[in-house]
Structure 1
Amino acid sequence: MKELINYILQFGQLDKQQIDLVMNNVVESSLHKGEHFSEAGKVPKQVGFIVDGVIRGYYHHNNGEEITRCFISENSLVADYVNFEANTVSAEYLQACTDCRLIIFPKDNWEELSRAVAGWDNIKNKMVQICMYQKSRKGPVISQDATTRYREFMENYPSLINRVPLAYIASYLGVTQQSLSRIRRNIR
Structure 2
Amino acid sequence: MNKLINYILEFGQLNTQQIELIKHNAHEITLGKGAYFSEAGKIPRQVAFVIKGVFRGCYYNNKGEEITRCFIQENSIMCDYVNFEANAVSLDYLQACTNSLLIVFSKENWEELSQIIVGWNTIKNKMVQRCMYQKSRKNPVISQDATTRYLDFIENHPSLVNRIPLAYISSYLGVTQQSLSRIRKSLS
Quick check: TM above 0.5? Answer: yes
1:115 partner amino acid:
Q
What does residue 36 of structure 1 align with?
36
What does residue 125 of structure 2 align with?
125
What does residue 186 of structure 1 align with?
186
Give the alignment's Cα RMSD to 1 decimal: 0.6
Residue 139 of structure 1 deviates from its aligned partner by: 3.0
What does residue 20 of structure 1 align with?
20
Q: Tell me the percent identity.
A: 69
Alignment of structure 1 residues 1-188 onto 2, 5 Å:
1-188=1-188
Residue 114 of structure 1 deviates from its aligned partner by: 0.2
TM-score (norm 2): 0.99
TM-score (norm 1): 0.99
Task: Name the SS of the counterpart of 2:49 in structure 1.
Answer: strand
Segments of structure 2 that go 5 or more residues without pairing to the other structure are none
Question: Is the Cα–Cα contact under 8 Å of residues 139 and 153 in structure 2 kept in the other structure?
Answer: no
**Counterparts of 1:12 and 1:89, CA distance in 2:** 31
Segments of structure 1 that go 5 or more residues without pairing to the other structure are none
Residue 146 of structure 1 deviates from its aligned partner by: 0.4
Question: Is the Cα–Cα contact under 8 Å of residues 57 and 71 in structure 2 kept in the other structure?
Answer: yes
**Counterparts of 1:138 and 1:57, CA distance in 2:** 13
Aligned length: 188
**Counterparts of 2:22 and 2:2, CA distance in 1:** 12
Question: Is the Cα–Cα contact under 8 Å of residues 49 and 76 in structure 1 kept in the other structure?
Answer: yes
Residue 137 of structure 1 deviates from its aligned partner by: 2.8
TM superposition outliers: structure 1 runs of 4+ over 4 Å: none
Task: Name the SS of the counterpart of 2:94 in structure 1.
Answer: strand
**Counterparts of 2:176 and 2:55, CA distance in 1:** 21
